[in-house]
Amino acid sequence: MVTAAATRAHLRSGVTARTLRHSFATHLMDRGVDLAIIASLMGHRSPQETGVYLHVLPQRPEAAVRTLPIGERP
């Protein structure tokens, strides 16, 4: 079903259900959704399982630190 839908949408070959699942989690992370919420939505037992998606957004830790007032940065 996924392959047929991807073909109809003129997406590149190789789109799988896993690709869609990974995209779902990554887009939620990119929008700042809490990791525990994403873990729940993904059916993971813990947020640590969801951590595999963090490699996609390497700028996130730096962006989090930039939200701190200057005097509080490590």
Look up residue 67 and give its amino acid: T
Could you tell me the pTM of the whole model? 0.63
Q: What does the domain layout of the chain look like in residue ranges? A: 21-72
Q: Locate tokens 């700028």: which residue?
A: 59
| pLDDT number for residue 55 | 66
Model pLDDT, residue 58? 63
**Residue-level pLDDT at 41:** 92
CA trace torsion 50, 14, 24, 11 (10° rounding): 160
Each residue's pLDDT, cut to its tens digit, for the chain (74 residues) gives 888 888 898 988 888 888 888 888 888 888 888 888 888 999 988 777 887 776 666 666 667 677 777 765 55
